[in-house]
A and B are shown apart, each in its own frame.
Chain A
Amino acid sequence: MTTRNMTQADERGARAPVQDAALIIGGGPGVSSSCARLFAESGMRVGVAARNPDKPVLRALETTHGVRRYACDASEPADVELLFQQAAGDLGAPTLVVHNIDGRVPGIFRKGAAEADPAMVLETLRNSAFSAFLVGQQTARLMRENPLDANGARGTIIFTNASAALKGFPMSGAFAMACHAKSGLAQSMARELMPQGIHVANVPIDAAIGWTQDDGSRAHRLAGTTVDDNMADPDRIAETYLQLHRQHRSTWAFEIVLRPWAERW
């Protein structure tokens, strides 16, 4: 304990300004795009990784905000390792990592316990919780080498999570497993890595997320169009992610649930 504290005290005197490098894993039009824009506007170098990095929304981020795009199947260990190597080479070692993968395969939605296809359940778990582990592992390996920034941190990893992390909904066993697993991983990593200077946060979004559509409205695929801010706005979610990253190490939040004011829960 004493040795660790002395090391921190020594390093603290020699803190250099750190240019943030943000890596967002899982890329779509919602939280990941909002984060990429806000992080880039805040002076960070930003990369987004997705299975298909050629989606128009990701191409647009490259054009408007200089965001680098990476192809990566985050459920494959070798892919994730390569991603972090490439991103570290292009952007610098990441200081902010966001794992933003839902992971459900299309066929698993609304399947009861008796009906769910075991192969799809496993695939959902691989896509979400297992990929979160892989991303967490690479983050731990790279970030522990980072110097301490002005807040006394080596970096931040944020896991986007969902209502299913808080309660198991009917007809949604695979996703409940995946989200609870992600919470458990985040908690365990927080306990291990926060004393080493890596801020770990779990952020269940307890709501439908309505992202801005081509016509300017905010809408969700199933929940319809946003009325009176009744859906989470990904731009506003990104603001809280940034605040989490900027917290001083004397005062770190681990879990923060975000929901719209009018949401029932």
Chain B
Amino acid sequence: MKPVCLVIGAGAGIGGTVARRFAQQGYHAVLCRRSDLEGLNRLVDAIRSEGGSADGFLLDAVAADSIETNVAAIEADIGPIEVVVYNLGAQIGDRALKDTSAKAFETGWRLATFGLFRLASAVCPLMEARGKGTILVTSATAAMRGNAGQHSHSAAMGGRRMLCQTLNAEFASKGIHVVHIVIDGAVDAPDTLGKMLGPERFQRLRETRGNEHDGLLLPTQIAETYFHLASQHRSAWTHEIDLRAFSDRAWWNH
């Protein structure tokens, strides 16, 4: 039975690419996303077509019991979850306080913070019993710094960062490696940034900063570091890592 790499938030950017990277290394990748069954199937098929093993499920991380039920089903039907990638974003663009609704704020928190809490509550006892496991958490500039217009996103991601620290404090010495990964820049991801900007602006961004300029973080390269983190020996773990393009400004220097 192959160990499972469960990716929550598997679009065509970081999530899907990381799933594929782990599948190439012999994991059974389980890809979960909220919508777009067709897009999900394309990712799963791509992994299978290169000899990897993978499954895909639609999962609404805000709905009651969704994460818990999926974790239990995967453990029962597929295999032990050795690696979890929590890759749900909560970016809604820059909005002034008066334009940030209570509903948007609450949804941001449910996706960014509460979903991770629910996931950890479901997988940590399993990982602890096995004495090992890895929880890779994708995070953002907003976790480190409250930029203008980021009320919802920053509060939610700041909470995510602190939750990663408290999880690490309780579970690292039980063999669970928790990593908070600060993606400090724009990612060349069609399903997130692409949809937020629209096809024309996204294409323009790729032409001016992406492509040969390497100014957008590339999901394939991010996946390399995710896999390295999951492979680190327990004598030398890192809990937090910042990733950005060489030409980009760092969060502390905005």
A9 CB–B CB distance under 8 Å = yes
Contacts of A226 in B (CB 8 A): 235
**Is the pair B225, A243 in contact by a Cβ cutoff of 8 Å?**
yes
B233 CB–A CB distance under 8 Å = yes
Bound-complex Cα distance A110 to B7 (A): 47
Bound-complex Cα distance A253 to B181 (A): 10
Nearest-CB distance from B111 to chain A (Å)?
Answer: 24
**Is the pair B244, A252 in contact by a Cβ cutoff of 8 Å?**
yes
**Is the pair B232, A250 in contact by a Cβ cutoff of 8 Å?**
no
**Is the pair B237, A247 in contact by a Cβ cutoff of 8 Å?**
no
Type the 1/0 row for B35-77, where 1 means its CB is closer than 8 Å to any CB of A.
0000000000000000000000000000000000000000000
Interface residue tally of chain B, by bracket?
Answer: 35 or more
Contacts of B235 in A (CB 8 A): 226, 229-233, 236, 260-261
Type the 1/0 row for A177-199, where 1 means its CB is closer than 8 Å to any CB of B.
00000000001001100110101
**Is the pair A261, B238 in contact by a Cβ cutoff of 8 Å?**
no
Contacts of A187 in B (CB 8 A): 250, 252
Contacts of A205 in B (CB 8 A): 236
Contacts of A9 in B (CB 8 A): 212-213
Bound-complex Cα distance A197 to B228 (A): 22
Contacts of B25 in A (CB 8 A): none
Contacts of A232 in B (CB 8 A): 235-236
A239 CB–B CB distance under 8 Å = yes
Identify 18 residue pairs between A and B in the complex whose beta-carbon atoms are under 8 Å apart, listed by A's number: A152-B246, A191-B249, A195-B246, A197-B246, A229-B235, A240-B236, A246-B224, A250-B216, A250-B217, A251-B224, A255-B241, A257-B238, A257-B239, A257-B240, A258-B238, A259-B239, A261-B173, A262-B172
5 extra interface residue pairs, beta carbon distance < 8 Å, beyond A236-B232, A236-B233:
A226-B235, A233-B236, A249-B247, A250-B221, A251-B224
Q: Which 5 pairs between the two chains have the least Cβ-Cβ distance? A: A251-B221, A233-B235, A236-B236, A261-B234, A249-B246
Give residues in A with beta carbon < 8 Å to B.
Answer: 5, 8-9, 12, 152-153, 187, 190-191, 194-195, 197, 199, 205, 226, 229-233, 236-237, 239-240, 243, 246-263
